[in-house]
Structure formats: structure tokens, C-alpha cells
């Protein structure tokens, strides 16, 4: 029977008559008499030897368990009887508990009300709490009747200023139950309200979990923090002799009050679920009795955004003569600075530093910036990638995701020998001298095909100039259809 006494393994209220119907089964109770006996011999002998009065409460005679022997006798003929049935009276142990315990919670806003995690009382109530079931009630009467349990024991606010009392039923694996009283006390936090430590960091180019993969994002407002330096400061606030404390950190107030989901690693914490800013709650508990000594929002995490910059076009240039060779794929005096306005877009140049780098690693570290970006000479012929680093002067946050190419296009080659353009000195209304070697209406374009040497005239443009320097500088082009010579050499470009 699932009943018990106090702690001596005896029970005063076994009522044996409650077994009658179970024993008789389909037999007519008017035709039979059931008696219960302390011994097997008594049950075999008659209805009276070692008999137990089944109509009044019975106390077991041996601790923990006692065998009861049953005699079923035919009322019409006592010789017809059966004494083969027996059963045990078993006294099961009650939970061993502390009948009255106290939970102390810190007040986080001076109103004398706080949220309690009633489950925290389990360790104070019973050493065997892991093998027992706890249900919490707002009154002793409810606990005794097992009615109206507290719905959410993880977040229970005291109903009276500063103090309150609740009760818990404790049921062990035997199904035996005791009731414990839990006194709730709201105490003042030992951490000053003014204590606040702020940590700033830049949004990182990783995924939300801190891994480097295709989900990398430096605009998600999530980064890694090390706020372990606060731990020693908190502990130094609690220096009473013999005081033993546990300092824990939580993502929000509800978790801190319920003492659940504590942050495991305060040296490498990522603010997942709280982008851009987050308040960390600190909790200090006495390890001897689990009393709350300190509680509150004392750490502030801030994620500074990286500069929001724009991609820019490649710098496409023709190979020039300034490097000493027109076909070496190298140019000097390349000005990178015009790229800055596109890269910054609406950002103020006064607030950001822009530097150019020859490789991605240097851009990420800020090492080896191009010293004179207005007069750069490419060091890789034909095509060289330039990596951009933009740094916020205030926060130090940087962005290195923009890059562009310097592309040096080769110059078209011109045939080394082009036939002279020969015309006759014909007198006309402007020039009547047939021997002065001056002619008008010369069509220089007649040599375009020779200059292009098979190239598509829709892609290449041919112009003619009086001097080599004019051709190099692409200035003062001559008329290709109506040129009047001045007996000097004309150059094509």
C-alpha cells in the first residue's frame, strides 16, 4: 500500500477491510467470511487465532513490511476454507526534506518586487532533488489539496512588498509526498546602480556564429566580445570574510532572474539574437545558500558598423611613353585618388581614411599602403589589382571589400613603312605656281588602310599630325580630306 508514517517505517492506519472485495472476486460476500491473521498457522487454524480486527485502523508490527495472511471460510461449513492467500503491508519512505527554506532575490529597480525562480529552492529542500518531483503553490491549503499550482515557477513575482511565502509538494519515486515552505525575500543588490562597463567592437565579416563561410556578413550587427575584465571588478565588490560567491552573466533579465541559460564563455561571446547593441545582466549568488547578492544590467555591448562603401570602376589606360617604352604594359603617374569619391559615395571624406594596397593581406592589416596614390606606377604589367581600405576615423572600423583593376591597354602598332602620298603640283586659283611643291585638297585618308594594316576601321581611329609630339599628345589633327601641304613631313597616329 502506498502509504507511510513519519520516519520510523510504521504506519497506524492500515484498514484491512479495504482488501475484501479484491480477495473475494466473484464470490458472494454473504456466503463467506474473510479474516486477516498475523500468522499462516492462525489463518489455517480458525477465524480467531492471531486474527486482526479488519474494521479498525491497524499498525504494522514489523518495520517497513509485514505479511498478512487471509482466511476465507464458507459460512455454512467451516471445514470449507482457504488460507492460501497473503499480502504485504509496506511502509514506504517519505522524502527527506528541510521543511522551511528561504530564497533571496535581488531587487533590480528598488520597488521591492522581483522575479523568483522557485526551482532554485529544490537544492535547499532536498539532497535527492534530482529524483523527486516538485510542484509549487501559492497557499498551504492548495498544496495540501494539490489544487491551483503556480503555472510558471521559473518566473514568480512576490505578491507582497519585500517578502512572500509559497509552498512546494515534494514527491519521491515511491509516490510519497511532503510539503515544504519557501520564504521569499527581496534584498538590495550589492552592485551599485552606477556600475556600467561598455565594450565596443566592429561588425565582423563572419557568419552569425563566428565562422568564415559563404554566409559571412559584416552588416548583421553581430561580433565577438571579451568582457572577462569585468569579473574581477564585480568580485572585488564582495569581500566580506568567509563570503563565497558565484558570478554569472546572462543575455537578458528574465534568464538572470530564473538563473537559466547563463553565458558559458565571457571571453568569446557573440551577441546572437541581439544585433547592434545588447545589455548583459550580472548575477552574484552566495554559493553556501544560493542567496542573491547582486543583480542588474551592468555590461553594455555596442557594435560599430563598418564603413558602407561602394564598388568602383576599373582604371583603364593606354600604354604610354612615359615609362620609356610604349609597349611594356607599365605606366607612371597613375592617379588613384579620383576613385575615392565613388568609393565613399555619401560618406564625408573628413570622417574616413582611404588607402590603397597592392594585396588583400596588406589591406586587411593596413600595412604597406601605396605611399603616393596620385603618382603610382603599376608593378605588374598589363593588369594589376588594387585593394582599398576605408577606415572610420572615430571608431577605427574598416572595410576592405572594394578592389579594382588597373588595366594597361597596348598601343596599336603602325606599319614601319607606309608608302608616301604623292600628288602633282597643279596650278589653281589659290596657287598658280606649278613648281613651288604646294598642293591643296590632299586626301590624307587615302593612307588609312595602309596605317590600319587590316584592322577594323570601326574600332580604330586614325588621325594625322604635323609633328611627332602632336601625334603623341593627340593634338592639332589635320584634315584628312582637304589638306594643304607645307612641304614638312606629316605623321599618322
* DSSP character at residue 242: T
Name the pLDDT band for 210 (thresholds 50, 70, 90): very high
- Which residue, among 189, 184, 191, 142, has the nearest Cα to 161 in the 3D structure? 184
- Which residue, among 314, 459, 332, has the nearest Cα to 383 in the 3D structure? 314
Statement: residue 281 has pLDDT above 80: yes
Give helix then strand counts, H and E, for the chain.
Answer: 10, 24
* DSSP character at residue 190: S
Mean pLDDT of 277-298: 90
Given this model, what pLDDT does residue 5 score? 52
Residue 277 phi/psi, 5-degree rounding, is -140, 150
Given this model, what pLDDT does residue 149 score? 98
Given this model, what pLDDT does residue 212 score? 94
Q: Report pLDDT digits (tens) over 12-35.
A: 999 999 999 999 999 999 999 999
Given this model, what pLDDT does residue 327 score? 79
Q: How far apart are CA 223 and CA 125, in angstroms?
A: 42
Determine which of 57-71, 287-301, 345-359, 425-439 has the lowest per-residue pLDDT on average: 425-439
Mean pLDDT of 74-89: 93
Q: How far apart are CA 467 and CA 141, in angstroms?
A: 113
pLDDT-above-90 percentage for the chain: 70
pTM over 0.85: no
Given this model, what pLDDT does residue 415 score? 72
Pick 259 or 436 by higher pLDDT.
Answer: 259
Cβ contact 287:245 at 8 Å: yes
Q: What is the mean pLDDT of the chain?
A: 90
Q: Report pLDDT digits (tens) over 385-436.
A: 999 999 999 999 999 999 999 999 988 877 777 888 777 766 665 555 554 4
Mean pLDDT of 228-251: 91
Name the pLDDT band for 4 (thresholds 50, 70, 90): very low
Q: Report pLDDT digits (tens) over 297-352.
A: 999 999 999 999 999 999 999 988 777 777 789 999 999 999 999 999 999 999 99
Q: Domain 100-188 is of which CATH architecture?
A: Sandwich (2.60)
- Name the one residue in this structure whose C-alpha cell is 492471531: 50
Given this model, what pLDDT does residue 158 score? 93
Statement: residue 492 has pLDDT above 60: no
Statement: residue 257 has pLDDT above 70: yes
Given this model, what pLDDT does residue 489 score? 55
What does the domain layout of the chain look like in residue ranges?
16-90, 100-188, 197-284+292-304, 315-409, 415-493
Amino acid at each position: 500500500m502506498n502509504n507511510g508514517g513519519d520516519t520510523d517505517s510504521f504506519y497506524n492506519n492500515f484498514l484491512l477491510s479495504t482488501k475484501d472485495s479484491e480477495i473475494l472476486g466473484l464470490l458472494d460476500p454473504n456466503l463467506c467470511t474473510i479474516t486477516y491473521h498475523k500468522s499462516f498457522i492462525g489463518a489455517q487454524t480458525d477465524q480467531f487465532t492471531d486474527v486482526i480486527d479488519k474494521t479498525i485502523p491497524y499498525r504494522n508490527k514489523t518495520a517497513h513490511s509485514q505479511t498478512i495472511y487471509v482466511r476465507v471460510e464458507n459460512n455454512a461449513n467451516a471445514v470449507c476454507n482457504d488460507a492460501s492467500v497473503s499480502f504485504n503491508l509496506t511502509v514506504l519512505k517519505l522524502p527527506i526534506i528541510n521543511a522551511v527554506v528561504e530564497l533571496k532575490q535581488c531587487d533590480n529597480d528598488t520597488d521591492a518586487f522581483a522575479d523568483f525562480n522557485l526551482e532554485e529552492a529544490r537544492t535547499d529542500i532536498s539532497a535527492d532533488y534530482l529524483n523527486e518531483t516538485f510542484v509549487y503553490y501559492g497557499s498551504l491549503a492548495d498544496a495540501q489539496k494539490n489544487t491551483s499550482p503556480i503555472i510558471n515557477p521559473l518566473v514568480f513575482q512576490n505578491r507582497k512588498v519585500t517578502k512572500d511565502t509559497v509552498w512546494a509538494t515534494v514527491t519521491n519515486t515511491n509516490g510519497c509526498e511532503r510539503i515544504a515552505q519557501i520564504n521569499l525575500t527581496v534584498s538590495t543588490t550589492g552592485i551599485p546602480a552606477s556600475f556600467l562597463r561598455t565594450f565596443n567592437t566592429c561588425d565582423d565579416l563572419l557568419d552569425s556564429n563566428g565562422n568564415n563561410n559563404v554566409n559571412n556578413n559584416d552588416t548583421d550587427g553581430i561580433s565577438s566580445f571579451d568582457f572577462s575584465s569585468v569579473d574581477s571588478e564585480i568580485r572585488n565588490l564582495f569581500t566580506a570574510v568567509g563570503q563565497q560567491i558565484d558570478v554569472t552573466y546572462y543575455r537578458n533579465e528574465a534568464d538572470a532572474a530564473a538563473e537559466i541559460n547563463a553565458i558559458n564563455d565571457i571571453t568569446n561571446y557573440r551577441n546572437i539574437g541581439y544585433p547592434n547593441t545588447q545589455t548583459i545582466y550580472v548575477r552574484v549568488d552566495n554559493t553556501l545558500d544560493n542567496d542573491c547578492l547582486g543583480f542588474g544590467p551592468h555590461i553594455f555591448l555596442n557594435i560599430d558598423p563598418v564603413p558602407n562603401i561602394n564598388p568602383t570602376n576599373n582604371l583603364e589606360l593606354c600604354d604610354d611613353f612615359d615609362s620609356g617604352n610604349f609597349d611594356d604594359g607599365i605606366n607612371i603617374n597613375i592617379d588613384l585618388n579620383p576613385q575615392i569619391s565613388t568609393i565613399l559615395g555619401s560618406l564625408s571624406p573628413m570622417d574616413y581614411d582611404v588607402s590603397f594596397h597592392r594585396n588583400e593581406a596588406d589591406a586587411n592589416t593596413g600595412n604597406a599602403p601605396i605611399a603616393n596614390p596620385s603618382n603610382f606606377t603599376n608593378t605588374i604589367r598589363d593588369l594589376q589589382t588594387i585593394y582599398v581600405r576605408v577606415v572610420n576615423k572615430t571608431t577605427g572600423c574598416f572595410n576592405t571589400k572594394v578592389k579594382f583593376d588597373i588595366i594597361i591597354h597596348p598601343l596599336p602598332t603602325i606599319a614601319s613603312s607606309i608608302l608616301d602620298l604623292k600628288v602633282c603640283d597643279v596650278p589653281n586659283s589659290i596657287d598658280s605656281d606649278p613648281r613651288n611643291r604646294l598642293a591643296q585638297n590632299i586626301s590624307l585618308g587615302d593612307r588609312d588602310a595602309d596605317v590600319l594594316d587590316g584592322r577594323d576601321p570601326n574600332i580604330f581611329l586614325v588621325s594625322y599630325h604635323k609633328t611627332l609630339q602632336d601625334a603623341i599628345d593627340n593634338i592639332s589633327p589635320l584634315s584628312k580630306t582637304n589638306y594643304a601641304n607645307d612641304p614638312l613631313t606629316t605623321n599618322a597616329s
